Structures are given as C-alpha cells and as structure tokens.
Structure 1
Amino acid sequence: MNLQEGWAASPLRSVMDLLGHTQLDRMTTEPGLVSAVDQHAAELRDAIPMDRETLGDYVLGFLDELRDREWMFDGELDAPALRLTAACWLARESGFLEDGLPA
C-alpha cells in the first residue's frame, strides 16, 4: 500500500486520502458499491465501538495485516478495499475527520 509517512499517527486520514475520497465519490453513481459498503459498515458497527480512536485503531491493525499480505490497492473493489471504504464512510458520516485532529 502506498501510504505516506505518518500514516500510523492518522490512519483514517491516510486511508481517506489514499482511496476513501475516490471510492466515496463513486458511491453516488454505483448502487452496488453503496450496498457492499453498507454491508461492511454494518459489520464494523457490530464489531467495534464507533468512536474515532477505536475506528482508527481498527484501521491501523487492518492496514498492518494488509501490509503483511503485501496487498496493494489497485482500484479493484475487493474485500479489503470495501472494508477500508466502509471505514472511511463511517469516519466521514460520524464527523471524525472534520476537526483536523489526528484520526
């Protein structure tokens, strides 16, 4: 994954910059993407408390696992990309990225 320096301090912002903005924009025209992201978001909401720190920690651990597997985002909507897009959607909808604080 091509994350910029400092991604571990702000994993939600890093993922948003890497793929979140583009994928969230795609959701406005792709109903299938909306459905898939919604499913992943529901699984995240069921699995972890929905606060900035916990979601950021989840993304950090998920990214570590993806790096160990040498996963790279290539624009394809595979399960890791959908999960990261769901985390970005949840962060945006929850307002976790609005105040400029590390997220």
Structure 2
Amino acid sequence: MVVFEEGWAAAPFRWLMDALGDAQLARMGSDPGLVAAVDQHAAVLRDAIPLDRETLGDYLLGFLDELRQRGWAFTGEHAEPAALRLTAVCWLARERGFLSDELPA
C-alpha cells in the first residue's frame, strides 16, 4: 500500500514514480488493458492542460493533495481510476523527459 510520506510534495514526480509509477509502468508491458486505460487518462490530460513540466507538476500536486485529503492510498489495484490517472501522469512525465534530470519535480 502506498501512503503519503513526509516530503512527497517536494519532488512529486519522483515520489510518484517510486510509490507506484515504476511498478505500474512495468506492468503495462504485459497488460494491454492497462495500456488502453492509461492511454485514455493520458488523452484526457492532453486535452485539459498544457503538458509542460510546470503545468503537469502543478496538476499532480493538486491531484495528490486532493487524494491525500480524502485519505486515499494505492492498494495495488491498478484499475482504480485514481491509480490510472496517476499512472498516466507517470507515463507522460517519463515520455516527455521530466524525470531525466535532478530537478526537484
């Protein structure tokens, strides 16, 4: 189970990748249904916000903060809507190279 540890907001992309992104993205390699669901969430994000580092990072902070306030925790159920949206953020961040340097986000 993933919980919000102290410091999650200081580097949200990295925290998210460590917390669930790496495992979810690896699972996509063998789960076409997960790929399709994550792609749908990524398309919603592409239509809703500019996909630059700052805007996606701000979106992620707001989304995570809302989940934290609701007491949400990732339990490993990869088809859960919040987990799919977070996986889409991870996928987009990786595809756009937002994780390839040492910047805090």
Q: Give your verdict on TM over 0.5.
A: yes
Distance 2:71 2:12 in 1: 17
1:100 corresponds in structure 2 to 102
TM-score relative to the length of structure 2: 0.93
Paired with 1:100 and 1:45, the residues of 2 have a C-alpha distance of 25
Unaligned 5+ runs, structure 2: none
Q: Which residue does 2:90 correspond to in 1?
A: 88
C-alpha distance in structure 2 between counterparts of 1:64 and 1:45, whole Å: 21
1:23-74 Cα offsets, whole Å, 9 max, x none, are 0000000000000000000001111110111111101100111011111100
Task: For structure 1, list consecutive stretches of 5 or more residues without a partner in the other structure.
Answer: none
SS at 1:100's partner residue?
coil
Identity percentage over the alignment?
70
Report the count of equivalent residues: 103
Q: Distance in 2 between matches of 1:89 and 1:3?
A: 20
Aligned-partner SS, 1:59: helix
C-alpha contact (below 8 Å) 2:49/2:55 kept by paired residues: yes
Mapped contact 1:4–1:14 kept (Cα < 8 A): no
- For 2:7 and 2:69, locate their aligned partners in 1 and report how far apart those are by CA, in whole Å: 18
d(CA) in 2 for partners of 1:48, 1:36? 19
* 1:1-103 aligned within 5 A: 1-77=2-78, 78-103=80-105
CA distance in 2: counterparts of 1:6 and 1:56, whole angstroms: 15
Q: CA deviation at 1:6?
A: 2.1
